[in-house]
Amino acid sequence: MLIEYKHVDVYQEVQEVLTDVTFTIDEGEFVYVIGKVGSGKSSLIKTLYGELPIHSGEATVMEHDMCNLKRKHLPDLRRKLGVIFQDFQLLTDRTVDANLRFVLKATGWKNKEDINNRIEEVLELVGMSTKGYKLPSELSGGEQQRIAIARSILNYPKLILADEPTGNLDADTSKQITELLMKIVKEQGATVVMITHNLNLLDMYPGRVFECKDKALIEVSNENLQEAENEVNEQA
């Protein structure tokens, strides 16, 4: 079991956003988290990589006890997972190659040849092998997100957390990014947990679906998926 939560309450500062959260996720799964704005999706993701603490229930992520995880042990957890953000969060003052090199060195890689080979591997995997010399500002939004994905898989993570990775992208590019994440699941054996408002992706690229609704996390069956999508689409 890669992730296991039992009766967890999720707080954003002092406000309770989710209550009695219970779920499990295995290796090699592709999982969507949907819900209206403010329903607790991002807060849930943040508990998975220790950005938000957990004070109740039981929570395990890749054998780490998230309820008792000390801050000094966070780097060990985060080296084992990858996080992809909606706004890419690339270092704008350095090239793609330098962005990836910075992460590898920061996470303990020392051999120059190993570093160069790993950068070459991840750029090829995300279809960006000719873009290493470019600055982020010279890339399109979709290209920047591909680089963000490359960054997230540098350390062979078992778990990739994607917080609205297609939120700033057009429909065609969103499909390409989701296909790429599906490919990583299939070829690398990673697990992806992805927040999305683009509910068309759920039909095109099926996976498990959880909905944040009324302070609860509910797994949505295929039979009830359309109803859940309609509820989310009612917003705004």
**Per-residue pLDDT at 210:** 97
As to burial, measured by CB atoms within 10 angstroms (0-12 exposed, 13-18 middle, 19+ buried), residue 39 is: buried
pLDDT at 97 over 90: yes
What pTM did the predictor assign? 0.92
Average pLDDT over residues 193-201: 94
Give the model's confidence band at 235: pLDDT under 50 very low, under 70 low, under 90 confident, else very high. low
Model confidence over 109-145: pLDDT tens digits? 999 999 999 999 999 999 999 999 999 999 999 999 9
Contact 232, 199 (CB under 8 A): yes
**Per-residue pLDDT at 223:** 73
As to burial, measured by CB atoms within 10 angstroms (0-12 exposed, 13-18 middle, 19+ buried), residue 117 is: exposed
- Provide Rg for the chain, Cα atoms: 18
pLDDT at 236 over 70: no
Model confidence over 73-90: pLDDT tens digits? 898 898 899 999 888 999
As to burial, measured by CB atoms within 10 angstroms (0-12 exposed, 13-18 middle, 19+ buried), residue 64 is: middle
Pair of tokens at residue 67: 């309820």
Give the model's confidence band at 55: pLDDT under 50 very low, under 70 low, under 90 confident, else very high. confident
**Per-residue pLDDT at 93:** 95
Q: φ, ψ for residue 35 (rounded to 5)?
A: 150, 165
As to burial, measured by CB atoms within 10 angstroms (0-12 exposed, 13-18 middle, 19+ buried), residue 182 is: middle
Could you count the other beta carbons within 10 Å of the beta carbon of residue 226?
Answer: 13
